[in-house]
Structure 1
């Protein structure tokens, strides 16, 4: 065990000893506690639970965070830079947990002020990703930026635990892309994804243990606004200079963790305000504050086929450019959706549309049809702020999509009866949980790579010399045999 890890264990054991002494002092005598003894015991329980919440967060820093920082440093470049911003957010949140452990729950204004350092660091993480979309490490940057909204859990009441899990799943979506790309190239990138996603697994367990219904404040504490004390957080792996070797992460003391799991038995629930339906942004679109740029409404030439019919989605339709992201949502029987003001850095997300046709002109970075749509979580402390998750999949039905050129991927997720036409080039098409798909490919797109899973009734139509299309089915049934102890899988061909 390293010197730093040993010091960490000693520190926690000392805290455990103090806690046991505290329990012994406050234990009621046989004749029953006096009023003053009962008050001391209550205070000791509150203070002890609060102290354990801080030490539990320190374990997150000295364990999962250390591993992520170490692997980020070994990859270097933008990944390492983003990890430093992530570490800033973690240190800021550790400070907030410590303030809560020593203070009574303050007013909304004080909570807002306490959360700002976390918000600032989160914005650095997401901004770095948006500024570097052409980067070959874009999926790494997206993995981190999609997961980091989980750090808003102190503002989510009364159920922050599922919220952290939803953010972990969002990060996993891009982590899977990193794994696919690097599993045969560099195993350290795969380990990096495991370390980052693993941090949220541990964070979710921590929140469930200490902050079940929201950030736990100390009812016998002092004034949060005037809090100036605090202990020093354990240092995460430092960022090495280019010539230096990455710092090693100290081993997580399993024995000490087991000891503390026995000691941590105090409940941390408290009566907290529940958001009324009238305050929920996802139920009241007029409450949403966002700056959007409307897309052009010019008529669009239809792709191979247009659709009609289908029940109208309950949410209002949306067609807007938000930063570098085009969002097309809840469109019904609209054949004239044209995105023509495109740039190379733009991405297009199409959610929950039915019986509609979307045309994308020019070259964009990526297109996603039917990906999980954001679900807004209202914050009690930031009424103007919502936190996006991807809780429920909003697939599309009977949609036609006409695309010219795509730099990275076209994703089709959770759709039914869709038709996609690529008139230029697109290196990759990813199909997941989709039934009934026609993919029309131009001659220029003949070198496309198509990845499919959990999908059926898929056909690819290749443009021929005379302009006609030759239809070929995508395999959806496979046969696996054992050859010399190894599994051999081939697509099943149906003839006749």
Structure 2
């Protein structure tokens, strides 16, 4: 109970700090306060207090990189809470606006992913478990069945399945070595299953509910100093760069020209009578003797393959495409072997010994 109260107190302090950074005040943020006391937001704080505290406590006992990635996880959950508050005050944006709105959360998640890169750490399994599981927080990006991702509950479960492989490695490796690592791994799993999954199931089974009456745009919540730009984003928008700004090529350019209403042949040169082949003085239609000779004297293309003289599978001598060879000899032929000759010209083959067939 004490850990839960402490977690809620820390959450309240973090919220006050965020308000001061935005230049607001507690008294002047009536809309934010109303959203912050919404049952779904209070339930999110309860969820963090019940599950995140165990992960943080175990991470502090381990220290090092495990503690660092645990703090990033705390930051990601706090950022998700801030976004959930903002969603209640914001109309649903388009795809590009959604990517911008979720950018602060994405930056924190990518910070966790960056810890798994580079030289492999002794706590690589911890880092991967935390980073892969943090993608479960992307359930907030669900906008409908056509958005290209699983529904929120399924997304949380699938994200944990990616992380569970590394989490199980921690349990096996530290089962008889260090109970703090075992506690951290167990607490991490419970943070998502049942923690986050049950929260989403109770409050947002069909995705976040945007405001129908609030302002169309709202600034994304402020975040601590962002890390270097990540190589990729969990929330991307293909529609952010309109295709009309790119010059059309190929058939697209043709259809664009047709639909413009301009004469399609306006840029073509007109062929006059003296340019036509039948009226040109230098084209009589008679093939000259020298041209005819040059055509007939050109060597024909040979389709013959490379010359062969080899024993295949111990049973068959193959002689192919031998041209002008007078000294071909098969000197080790027995009665069980056959000789196959194809495509040879002006050549002599001597077979020493008996053979089955030719």
Bigger CA radius of gyration = 2
Normalised to the residue count of structure 1, the TM-score between the two structures is 0.37
Normalised to the residue count of structure 2, the TM-score between the two structures is 0.50
Which structure has more strand as a fraction of its residues? 1
